[in-house]
Amino acid sequence: MHIYIYARKIIYANHNQLLHLRYFIF
């Protein structure tokens, strides 16, 4: 369970980074 939550956190963080990059580029 903890590994699953940790993985979700990483995926969510990566998604946020992509959104920030998108706003920065455009």
1-26 residue pLDDT tens? 688 888 888 888 887 777 777 766 65
pLDDT of residue 6: 85
Cβ neighbour number for residue 13 with a 10 Å cutoff: 10
pLDDT at 9: 84
pLDDT at 19 (0 to 100): 74
Residues 6+ apart with CB under 8 A from 18: none
